[in-house]
Amino acid sequence: MKQTTINKSFSISGIALHSGLDTTVTVKPSGEDTGIVFIRSDIAGSPHIPALTSSVVATSYATTLGVDGVTVATVEHLMAALYGMGVDNAVVMVNGPEIPILDGSAVAFTELIDDVGIRKLDAARKYIVIKKPIKVSEGDKHIYLYPSENMEMSIDYRIDFAHPFLAKQSFSSPFSKDVFRREVVRARTFGFLKDVEMLKANGLARGGGLNNAVVIGDDDILNEEGLRFPDEFVRHKVLDFMGDIALLGHHIIGRFEAYRSGHNMNHRLAVKLLKSQGRFEFSTTGRKKGGSVYVVKPGVPAYVGGAVTA
Ligand SMILES: [Zn+2]
């Protein structure tokens, strides 16, 4: 499998969820082994912020990257779109401190990547292959990452909010571009009405509204259009998870099991993985029967669990 970039640039503008500012992102092609790099085009000298775990400076309610005090917030949906669509290298120019929230999902980013197309570069893609389990936990919340017998990435994600409307939901699937596009990208950001005042008092969610988030009241959602999937919430958690894991800078061959995780725990897992010498190795080729390292299973029903259990 070769590394990739996009064929040509695309731009999109909109309000940002937490700052409430209008910003524009322009995603441009870039060369092999450059990874994803954010550039704050509104700041003198256009500082560069590599989209890497080592650049993460905050994980409350969104993932924020920063270098030398220059930050870019809420990168996770765009990062998930680039990772899920298989874009290894790109430059992301943004003219403000936060990526636009758009409709709260990653569907617009994904469609734009589809529109411009993806091209292969000469260098081989370097995967992180998990060799021994890596675990992070806090109370009953956890993420376990195991070696994959099938030499693929798979994800099993469960949530339980102990809320009458949103209790247990789960998502379990091998991960591929098809699964990502079909099952994950349309799932929107969500929040509880009871938290909205607290968020706004803390200067967050200034750009939030029913056009870019599912808002959950006492026993129903406030959005008149309803949900896009009965289990849209866990699917969005998977989207966020992908965006955070994308900051490892490499595709992962491993089996993730996440329970009630969030941006902070996702980040902790990535940090622990990178420090876990001997628990993973880099690989550019498959180790199983000499075949492709990335096993995509088209046509396999992706979605296993997930009923809303009130
Ligand atoms: Zn999100």
pLDDT by residue for the chain (310 residues), tens only, comes to: 899 999 999 999 999 999 999 999 999 999 999 999 999 999 999 999 999 999 999 998 899 999 999 999 999 999 999 999 999 999 999 999 999 999 999 999 999 999 999 999 999 999 999 999 999 999 999 999 999 999 999 999 999 988 878 889 999 999 999 999 999 999 999 999 988 888 888 888 889 889 999 999 988 899 999 999 999 999 999 999 999 999 999 999 999 999 999 999 999 999 999 999 999 999 996 444 433 333 333 333 333 333 332 2
236 alpha carbon – ligand 1 mean position (Å): 6
Strand pairing report for 90-94 and 36-40: parallel
* pTM score, whole prediction: 0.91
Eight-state DSSP code of residue 105: S
Expressed in angstroms and rounded, the spacing between residue 285 Cα and the centre of ligand 1 is: 32
pLDDT in the model for residue 265: 97
| Residue 292: predicted pLDDT | 39
Which residues does the annotation mark as catalytic? 263
The answer for residues whose C-beta is within 8 angstroms of residue 72's C-beta and 6 or more apart is: 38, 40, 49, 64, 65, 66, 94, 97, 98, 99
The Å distance, Cα 293 to ligand 1 centre, comes to: 29
Ligand 1 midpoint to CA 55 (Å)? 19
Q: Tokens 């061959």 map to which residue?
A: 253
So what's the architecture of 2-124 in CATH? 2-Layer Sandwich (3.30)
Domain range summary for the chain, segments of one domain joined by +: 2-124, 127-283
Structure tokens at 257: 């099991």
Under 8 Å between Cβ of 245 and 252 = yes
Neighbouring-strand partners of residue 67: 70
Per the listing, tokens 């750009």 go with 207
Class of domain 127-283: alpha beta
Q: 3-state SS string over 149-206? A: CCCCEEEEEEEECCCCCCCEEEEEEECCHHHHHHHHCCCCCEEEHHHHHHHHHCCCCC
